[in-house]
Amino acid sequence: MKADIVTIFPDFFRGPLDYGITRRAQEMGLAKIEVHDLRGFTHDRHRTVDDRPFGGGEGMVLKPEPLFECLESMGVAARVDRLAGRVKQSVVLLSAQGQRFSQKVAAGLALLDRVVLLCGRYEGVDERVADFLADREISIGDYVLSGGEIAAAVIVEAMMRLLPGALGNEASAQQESFTVDVKAKSLNGADSTCGSNGLLDYPHYTRPAEFRGLAVPQALMSGNHEEIRKWRRQRALEKTLRNRPDLLKGAALSEEDQQYLAGIRRVGIEGQEI
């Protein structure tokens, strides 16, 4: 997969995407990231990329011409073919007004051959870019950033770690928060320690077994796989109920999960408010 990032601050990306799994995915040849300097597509002495908004108002707006020219220079497939799904490419405008980014959106993007991310700045981007150049607008959350660069880095990292082979251990991706595993039915099977299935991840512990008087939960030290599975699943259910109850509606819950949830809804979790 190739990710192209269009920005007025290309140096921003020296670093954030050069670590961990994103770096490994590039080294393994699974992914390639190319950063394009928007100012390289201007034609004036000052390399102007912004202008005042028509109708008045605050701030400056990114001009459409450099963005259109930049995309045209990249050999991306025609918008009509992208939108019809005839090519596995997508052009994304980062925008606080976009559809909310999620693990599901990341998984969809990870299936594509090429994803172009257009980073806005200032008060935003001339709307003709959203209407006629990009295929979709994506927001990484309900808050306003100063530019699309951090959002682009978030999206690249989230999708690249889902590329087959990038993680090294594919099973770990299936058990992470927000992941809906297609093998939901094996939820309570011996091959599944917990399986996220739309819940938040269960808590993790490592050595030392006791640290400043804080002991690792006994169930995890038991060596009993069924006890460990049950403990993890229950903690994931509790955490999801406490922090993100909205996720429970879409989660794949077994009979056992539902009974456990009903129980903690009735009596609560010891010492904690739900």
Residues of the shown chain interacting with ligand SAM in the complex, contacts defined by CB under 6 A: 94-97, 119-121, 123-125, 139-141, 143-148, 151
The residue (of 142 and 246) whose beta carbon lies closer to ligand SAM is 142
In the complex, the smallest distance separating the C-beta of residue 149 from ligand SAM, rounded to whole angstroms, is: 8
The residue (of 54 and 143) whose beta carbon lies closer to ligand SAM is 143
The span from the CA of 205 to the CA of 86, in Å, is: 46
The label of the residue with tokens 């670093």 reads 15
In the complex, the smallest distance separating the C-beta of residue 100 from ligand SAM, rounded to whole angstroms, is: 9
In the complex, the smallest distance separating the C-beta of residue 124 from ligand SAM, rounded to whole angstroms, is: 4
> What DSSP character marks residue 146?
S
- CB count within 10 Å of CB 249 equals 8
The residue (of 121 and 232) whose beta carbon lies closer to ligand SAM is 121
In the complex, the smallest distance separating the C-beta of residue 153 from ligand SAM, rounded to whole angstroms, is: 11
The residue (of 10 and 147) whose beta carbon lies closer to ligand SAM is 147
In the beta sheet, which residues pair with residue 3? 33, 115
Virtual torsion, Cα 201, 206, 210, 215, nearest 10 deg: 20
User: Nearest residue by C-beta to ligand SAM?
Assistant: 120
In the beta sheet, which residues pair with residue 13? none
Element (H, E) at 97: strand 89-100
In the complex, the smallest distance separating the C-beta of residue 38 from ligand SAM, rounded to whole angstroms, is: 12
- How far is C-alpha 129 from the chain's CA centre? 23
The residue (of 124 and 198) whose beta carbon lies closer to ligand SAM is 124
The residue (of 95 and 192) whose beta carbon lies closer to ligand SAM is 95
In the complex, the smallest distance separating the C-beta of residue 251 from ligand SAM, rounded to whole angstroms, is: 26
Structure tokens of 207? 């050595």
Structure tokens of 187? 């939820």
Q: Are the C-beta atoms of 134 and 127 separated by less than 8 Å? A: no
